[in-house]
A and B are shown apart, each in its own frame.
Chain A
Amino acid sequence: DAGVIQSPRHEVTEMGQEVTLRCKPISGHDYLFWYRQTMMRGLELLIYFNNNVPIDDSGMPEDRFSAKMPNASFSTLKIQPSEPRDSAVYFCASISLAGGPGNEQFFGPGTRLTVL
C-alpha cells in the first residue's frame, strides 16, 4: 500500500478563496481523521469519520470549514472563504480499529497551506 495520500502537498492562495484539501486513506481502514498543526496550537483534531460517517466535528474551528467522505477511499476538507489565520499544515490520518484500540494511526505527509 502507498500509505495515506494527500494532495496537494503545498497550497498558496489568497484570502477569500476556496481551498480544497484531499486525502486517500489506506485501504481497509475504517477511521479517517483530519488534523491541523500550527506552532501556536500544536496538533489539533478537526474531525473524524468512521466508515465514511462523520462522528465528531467539534474540532472544526468555524462554519467556513467543512469535510466530506463520499466513499471509503476519499475525503476532502474544504475552507471557504479562507483567511490568513487558516495557514497551517493539515494532516490526514487513517486507522483500522476493528480489532481494538491498539493499532497505530497512519499519517499522510500533510498539506502546507498558506493564505495570503
Chain B
Amino acid sequence: AQSVTQPDIHITVSEGASLELRCNYSYGATPYLFWYVQSPGQGLQLLLKYFSGDTLVQGIKGFEAEFKRSQSSFNLRKPSVHWSDAAEYFCAVTSGGSYIPTFGRGTSLIVHP
C-alpha cells in the first residue's frame, strides 16, 4: 500500500528565513504528488502538484517542490518565509492504481517575527 511520511511534526523558522518541509513516499508506480496547506480554521488548499515533466514545480504563494525519484521524496521549499505562511502543510500521493489520495500526517509551521 502507498504511504506518505512527513518526518517533522513541527517546524519553527524566523520570518525571512528559508524553509524546507520534507515528504517521503512509498509506492512502486509513478506517483502523483501534491502539497496542500491548511490555514487555521480553514480547509486544505492545493499549493502545487507533480506527475510528470520537470521535477521542480512551482506553486502558489512562492512555494516550490522538487521530485527526487531516487530518494522517493517531494520536499517543499520557500526561499523566504512570511508570517502569513504559518499553517499546517500536508503532502499527499496518488498513483495510477488508486485514484484515492493518501495524506501524510502533516507538518505544522510556526513563524517567529
Contacts and interface: CB of A to CB of B under 8 A. Distances in A.
B51 A109 contact: no
Interface residues of A, number: 19
A107 B95 contact: no
A94 to B, nearest CB: 11
A104 B49 contact: yes
Contacts of A91: 43-44
Nearest to B42: A109
B46 interface: yes
A52 to B, nearest CB: 16
B104 to A, nearest CB: 8
Interface residues of B, number: 23
Interface in A7-56: 31, 42-43, 45, 48, 56
Interface of A: 4, 31, 42-43, 45, 48, 56, 91, 93, 97, 100-102, 104-105, 107-110
A101 B106 contact: no
Given A4-B43, A101-B95, A105-B36, 20 more contacts: A31-B99, A42-B106, A43-B103, A43-B105, A48-B100, A91-B43, A91-B44, A93-B44, A97-B99, A100-B96, A100-B99, A101-B32, A101-B51, A101-B99, A102-B32, A102-B51, A104-B34, A104-B46, A108-B43, A110-B42
